[in-house]
Amino acid sequence: MKSYRTIDMTSLLTVPSVIQWEEAGASLAIALGKYLELCNSLGTSSLGEGAHPDDLVKRIDFKLESMHSVMDQQLAQARSTLFKTRNEITSPVHRLPDEILVDIFTHVVYSPPNACDHDGVAEMGDHLHQIYRCVYALLGVCSRWQKVIKNRRTFWSIIPVLQAPQSVDFESWEIYEKYRQAMLISLERARGCFLDIAAVLVPGFSSECFDLLKGHLPRIRTINVIASGPDDINCVMDVILQGSSLPSSLSELSIYQTQVEHYRVPEERDAIYSPESPDLVRFNELLRSLAVLRINGAHIHWETLAFSHRLTKLRLQAINLGTDHAMVTRLRHTLASATGLRELEIVSVRSFRSSNSGIQTFFTGPFVPNNLESLVLDDLCINTLIHLLSLSYIPSRPHRLILHLTPNARFFNLTERTREFNEFISILQPVLSKRAVHTLCIHRGIELTAKLLASLIESVPKLHTLLLDQRVLTTEHCNALKRPETENEPHSSSYPSFKCLRFSQVTIEDIVAFRNMVASHSHSMEQLILGGHIQTLSLWGLEDYCTGDDRDTDREIISLFENIVPDFRLTGSEYVPLEYQHDVWQLW
């Protein structure tokens, strides 16, 4: 005997929307029934009443083409809508609370782009496009998801100002209008919450986009702008500075500008504001209110600046600071007022030395604040690096020093587009031996023999983390990184006890020597991250295995290290860590 599911209609009868739907359906059924009866009798009745056959045919054709076409379309749409509603309601996702959906959507929308790919960091423009592609993809899934996305202001708080060119032709007008509408929609749906402005500008962009922000200045929390020159930066900042009052909620400012030629000293025309500009005072006032400031390529009159205790993070990147002497003077003056600074990042900053002088320092005492917790020195020429290393040491309160060595470290930076090659390891060693380097990141392009690598590592005995990228690790290189042991001093303090080793895109020629090197640090090692090529011996000779290509082979590699390293991670052979992508301007 078949069992039929019974539907309890009593609970539904009390819902007004269901009652209205059922009543409308019942009325429609009655009307259609009556209409069907009249259709059946139309020919006989109308002709019997004297209707002309030609007139009747014309009337029927008209109704079939007009009313019946509309009815067919509406009934099909009603059926489709009911099926869609039914499927949404019966879906397990429908039973999830809005808060759970918001958490899931947040992870989808804001997760780091290409996190599992070898391109681990995205340019700001690409990241913005990804965020809004995700948002609009979620909007199109179902009405409930659409409602959740539209009603959560946090999904619209990033206001995109994307490459809005002047509307000189129809195509550029369409692009301009598309980006303008995206900006307006985000401003409308982010009503009441703090705003994060992300602008990627092309030369000749329309300033009208920024005029739209004037009514929202009190809600702006962060500004991140990419532009090609100081005039474009001016256009953005004018909107902020010319308001009746500065936005009190603004806490982060990130400015990316194409760098002034690295081979010459900056001139007044390179600056965002000249010393005589009336806007410079307002600009400095704005800087004093910030907690985070990132500057790439833009020239500022540093001697006129004064920060406040609010500033906790400062990133200076691709900036020309003149001679070594001028650089230290400007940094000392600029940072003297940043008493609350905790994180300082100096990346690709250039200073010059005269071609006939050696390395020398002109000052005594550090140029960094006493409360500094972390200092990043990345992609610096040797003359710049030596001065910053020598003059950033605070014996009474050491900070975490993160040092990146790129091919620029091999050169003295001279004026007039010239550089002078140097034996940078021998120059660095005496300076590094006086500093407690926490993290050392050696980029590709720096050729290091096993002997030079050992010499460099011995000069940083307190090293916590070592990163190597795109490097062939021979047996000799592995032995150079192996911690020496003697009978009297099994764990010598004169050689680093690595806690973290990170190798990306490396080629390991001797996996046994590599494992022995890792094992020599087992008493201190907390993490090992490995990705690249591992040479193995087979019946056909030496073969290169690319990590991540085969699950079974990966398991064999993992088994070699899981018992000697608490946290071992195997990455793809082409994975590029964030630490090696300093030139990528992100959606901070």
| Rounded distance between C-alpha atoms, residue 32 and residue 38, angstroms | 10
Buried b (16+ CB within 10 A) or exposed e, 352-386: bbeeeeebeeeeeebbbbeebebbbbbbbbbbbbb
**CA 189/CA 582 separation, integer angstroms:** 34
Alpha helix locations (H) across 111-248?
Answer: 124-139, 143-151, 170-189, 208-211, 230-241
DSSP class of 585: P
Say how far apart CA 524 and CA 537 lie, in whole Å: 31
Backbone phi, psi, residue 361, to 5°? -115, 150
Domain termination residue (choose one: 156, 176, 200):
156
- Does residue 323 sit within a domain? no
Contact 389, 431 (CB under 8 A): yes
DSSP code of 303?
G
Tokens of 93: 């996702």
* Tokens (6 digits) for 116: 């599992």
Which residue reads 């301007």 in tokens?
A: 585
DSSP for 226-248? EESSHHHHHHHHHHHHTSSS--T
Residues 307 and 4: their CA atoms lie apart, in Å, by 76
Domain count, the chain: 2
Tell me, yes or no, whether 42 lies in a domain: no
In a domain? residue 288: no
- The answer as to whether 190 is a domain residue is no
Looking at 112, 127, 156, the residue that finishes a domain is 156
Which residue has 């490097």 as its token pair? 471
The reply to whether 240 falls in a domain is no
Residue whose structure tokens are 């001139």:
267
Residue ranges for the chain with pLDDT beneath 70? 1-13, 113-121, 163-172, 204-206, 260-263, 354-365, 394-396, 415-422, 486-493, 538-541
Stretch (H or E) spanning 16:
helix 16-48
pLDDT the model gives residue 503: 97
Q: Does some domain include residue 94?
A: yes
> Buried (b) or exposed (e) across 90-105, using 16+ Cβ within 10 A?
eeeeeeeeeeebbeeb
Q: What's the confidence (pLDDT) of residue 353?
A: 79
Question: How much is the pLDDT for 10?
Answer: 55
Which residue, 148, 151, 139, 160, is CA-closest to 189? 151
CA distances to 129, 176, 191, 247, 418 from 179, rounded to whole Å, are: 11, 5, 19, 24, 43
Report residue 359 as tokens. Answer: 């390395």
Secondary structure class of 145 (helix, strand, coil): helix
In a domain, 234, yes or no: no
pLDDT of 3 reads: 45
Q: Write down the pLDDT at residue 238.
A: 84
Gap between the Cα atoms of 307 and 285, Å rounded: 9
pLDDT for residue 262: 62
Any idea what DSSP says for residue 262? T
Sign of CA dihedral 373, 378, 380, 385: positive
Query: Nearest to residue 536, comparing CAs of 522, 521, 550?
Result: 550
Assign 420 to helix, strand or coil. Answer: strand
Are 256 and 225 within 8 A, CB to CB?
Answer: yes
* Domain residue limits at 108: 88-156
Report how far residue 449's alpha carbon sits from residue 494's, in angstroms, rounded to the nearest whole number: 21
**Alpha-carbon radius of gyration of the chain:** 34
Q: 528 pairs with which residues across the strands?
A: 501, 568
Query: Is the residue at 581 inside a domain?
Result: yes
Q: Give residue 106's identity as a one-letter amino acid code.
A: T
Residue in this structure with the two tokens 């009514």, named with its chain if needed: 215
Query: What is the identity of the amino acid at 12?
Result: L
- Rounded to whole angstroms, how far apart are CA atoms 251 and 313? 11
Of 111, 131, 156, which residue is a domain's last? 156
